[in-house]
C-alpha cells in the first residue's frame, strides 16, 4: 500500500454521501480510502503524498448517473439512431464521449440500453484500462413488444433495430434474456410503456401484460440478473413493482395503486426528469413547440408530488439524466436532476446529494464499493468549487468540478479533449439544407 500514490485532500467541506451533515475534514486515499480526519493527517505525516488544498470546496463521492445512453451519440431522431450508426464506429465515438461524462464528475453510470453491444464492450474496455471512463453497469438491447416504445412505426414487428429487440412471445422473452446473459449484460431492461397514434391517455400506455413482466423478472433473476423497467404511466409502474422489478425508470403519472405498489416493494426509482426539464426550460431555443414545453413542465409538476410521497415512505430515489440525446448532451446536465429534487420535490440539498451518490450506488448493487467516503471503499471522489451541501447547482457551474478521482486515479481536467467532427452519413439528411443550397444556386426561388 505504501508504494501506491497517496493523495491527501485537506481543509475541504467533506460530504461523505451518507446524508450526514458535512465536516471540515481531511481524507487520504490511494486506490481506496485510507483514512479521514485526524487519522488521515497522521497517516500521511511520514509518507510522500500529493496534497490538495480544498479550502472553500466540497469534497464528496463521485456522482452516480443512473440513466445514461453512452452509445447513442446525441441523435436528433430515432431515424438517425436506428439507420445512421455503425457498430465499430459507435464504439470508438462512445469511448470519446464517455470521457466527457467522467470530467463532469460522474464516476459511475448505468447505461440502460445500447445500440448493438457497444456499451458492454465499452464497459469492458474501461475496466481493463484501454480507455478512461466511469465504471459502468449496462443493459443490453431493451426488450420491446412491436407496439409502443417511442419510435412509432420504426419499431419492427419482429427482430431488432437500434437499441431494441422485439420479443413477441413468451418464448422469445426467455430466449432474449438468456442471450443477453450470455453476452454479459449486467441488467435486463423492459420497455413497459410506449406511445401509439391517437392514444387518449396521458404519458404512455402499457404494452406488456403483468404475466409477461412476471416471466421476464423470474427469468432474469434465475440467471442472477436484476431487471429494470421503463414505465411512464401508472399501471406499468404498479405492475413492474408487483412483478419484482429491481429498479424503475421514470415512474411518472403514478396513481394511488402505483404508489402503494412501489412503497410496498421499496423498489428504487430513477425519475429521470432532466430530459423534460431541459426541454421545458430551453425548448424555444431549439424550435420545440410551446405545447410540448408546457406538457413536459406539467409532467414534472404532477409527478413530483407522487414521487415525494414515495420518497417520504422510504422508496429510494436515484439520479438519472437520459444523457445521450441531442437535448441532453454528454457532460452537460448530469447535475440537473439534483436541482429538480430540490426545487420540485422539496428535498434538501443533502438529501439530493445522497440520491446522486449512495442511493445510485445502492440501486446498482455497488454500495459495498462506492457511494460513500468510508475507509476501505474505492476512492471515487470529486472536489467541487463552493459548498454543494447548500447549493447543488454548483455542480453545473462551468469549471466548478476542480478534481475527479476514480479508484484514486486523477482525471486530467486541464487538457481539453480534442475537437471532433461527425463521420460521413452519421446524421440524418436535412432537407432544409438542400433547400438552402438550391436557393443559393438559383435552381428555384423561394415560394415556388
Task: State the Cα–Cα distance between residues 135 and 139, nearest whole angstrom.
Answer: 14
Fold of the domain built from segment(s) 63-334: TIM Barrel (3.20.20)
Nearest to 54 by CA among 25, 33, 22, 16: 25
Nearest to 392 by CA among 283, 319, 446: 319
The pTM (predicted TM-score) of the whole model is 0.94
Select from 2.130.10.10, 3.20.20.70, 3.40.630.30, 2.30.40.10 the CATH code of 1-62+375-412. 2.30.40.10
What are the pLDDT tens digits along the chain (448 aa)? Answer: 345 799 999 999 999 998 889 999 999 999 999 999 999 999 999 999 999 999 999 999 999 999 999 999 999 989 999 999 999 999 999 999 999 999 999 999 999 999 999 999 999 999 999 999 999 999 999 999 988 777 888 899 999 999 999 999 999 999 999 999 999 999 999 999 998 888 888 779 999 999 999 999 999 999 999 999 999 999 999 999 999 999 999 999 999 999 999 999 999 999 999 999 998 988 878 777 787 788 888 889 999 999 999 999 999 999 999 999 999 999 999 999 999 999 999 999 999 999 999 999 999 999 999 999 999 999 999 999 999 999 999 999 999 999 999 999 999 999 999 999 999 999 986 555 555 555 555 555 554 4
Tell me the sheet residues that pair with 328: 325
Nearest to 310 by CA among 367, 362, 271, 360: 271
| Residue carrying the nine cell digits 437535448 | 327
> In the structure grid, which three cell numbers stand for residue 405, read together?
478521482
Count of Cβ atoms closer than 10 Å to residue 95 Cβ: 19
Residue 292 near residue 279, CB atoms below 8 Å: yes
> In the structure grid, which three cell numbers stand for residue 407, read together?
479508484
Q: Chain-centre distance of CA 303, in angstroms?
A: 19
Domain with CATH 2.30.40.10 in the chain: 1-62+375-412
> In the structure grid, which three cell numbers stand for residue 446, read together?
423561394
Domain with CATH 3.20.20.140 in the chain: 63-334
Residue 410 near residue 102, CB atoms below 8 Å: no
Nearest to 357 by CA among 399, 389, 385, 328: 389
Q: Chain-centre distance of CA 281, in angstroms?
A: 20
Amino acid at each position: 500500500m505504501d508504494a501506491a500514490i497517496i493523495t491527501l485532500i485537506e481543509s475541504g467541506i467533506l460530504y461523505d454521501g451518507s446524508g450526514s451533515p458535512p465536516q471540515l475534514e481531511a481524507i487520504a486515499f490511494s486506490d481506496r480510502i485510507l483514512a479521514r480526519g485526524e487519522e488521515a493527517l497522521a497517516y500521511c505525516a511520514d509518507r510522500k503524498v500529493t496534497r490538495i488544498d480544498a479550502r472553500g470546496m466540497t469534497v464528496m463521492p463521485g456522482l452516480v448517473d443512473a440513466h445514461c445512453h453512452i452509445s447513442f451519440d446525441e441523435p436528433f431522431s430515432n431515424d438517425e439512431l436506428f439507420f445512421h450508426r455503425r457498430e465499430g464506429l459507435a464504439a470508438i465515438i462512445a469511448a470519446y464521449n464517455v470521457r466527457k461524462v467522467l470530467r463532469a464528475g460522474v464516476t459511475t453510470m448505468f447505461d440502460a440500453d445500447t445500440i448493438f453491444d457497444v456499451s458492454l464492450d465499452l464497459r469492458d474496455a474501461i475496466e481493463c484500462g484501454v480507455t478512461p471512463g466511469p465504471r459502468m453497469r449496462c443493459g443490453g438491447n431493451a426488450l420491446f413488444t412491436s407496439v409502443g416504445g417511442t419510435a412509432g412505426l420504426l419499431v419492427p414487428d419482429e427482430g431488432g433495430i437500434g437499441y431494441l429487440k422485439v420479443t413477441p412471445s413468451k418464448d422469445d422473452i426467455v430466449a432474449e434474456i438468456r442471450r443477453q446473459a450470455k453476452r454479459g449484460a449486467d441488467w435486463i431492461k423492459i420497455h413497459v410503456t410506449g406511445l401509439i397514434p391517437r392514444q387518449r391517455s396521458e404519458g404512455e400506455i402499457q404494452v406488456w401484460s403483468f404475466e409477461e413482466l412476471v416471466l421476464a423478472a423470474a427469468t432474469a433473476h434465475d440467471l442472477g440478473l436484476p431487471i429494470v423497467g421503463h414505465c411512464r404511466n401508472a399501471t406499468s409502474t404498479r405492475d413492474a413493482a408487483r412483478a419484482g422489478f429491481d429498479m424503475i425508470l421514470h415512474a411518472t403519472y403514478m396513481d394511488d395503486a402505483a404508489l402503494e405498489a412501489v412503497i410496498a416493494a421499496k423498489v428504487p426509482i430513477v425519475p429521470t426528469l432532466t430530459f423534460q426539464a431541459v426541454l421545458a426550460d430551453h425548448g424555444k431555443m431549439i424550435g420545440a413547440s410551446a405545447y410540448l414545453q408546457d406538457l413536459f413542465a406539467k409532467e414534472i409538476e404532477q409527478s413530483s408530488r407522487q414521487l415525494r410521497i414515495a420518497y417520504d415512505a422510504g422508496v429510494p430515489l436515484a439520479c438519472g439524466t437520459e444523457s445521450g440525446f441531442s437535448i441532453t448532451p454528454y457532460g452537460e446536465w448530469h447535475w440537473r436532476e439534483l436541482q429538480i429534487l430540490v426545487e420540485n420535490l422539496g428535498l434538501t440539498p443533502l438529501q439530493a446529494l445522497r440520491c446522486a451518490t449512495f442511493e445510485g450506488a445502492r440501486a446498482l448493487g455497488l454500495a459495498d464499493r462506492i457511494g460513500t467516503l468510508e475507509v476501505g471503499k474505492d476512492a471515487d471522489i470529486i472536489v467541487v468549487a463552493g459548498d454543494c451541501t447548500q447549493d447543488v447547482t454548483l455542480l453545473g457551474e462551468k469549471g466548478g468540478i476542480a478534481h475527479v478521482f476514480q479508484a484514486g486515479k486523477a482525471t486530467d481536467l486541464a487538457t481539453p479533449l480534442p475537437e471532433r467532427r461527425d463521420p460521413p452519413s452519421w446524421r440524418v439528411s436535412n432537407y432544409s439544407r438542400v433547400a438552402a443550397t438550391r436557393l443559393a444556386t438559383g435552381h428555384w426561388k423561394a415560394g415556388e
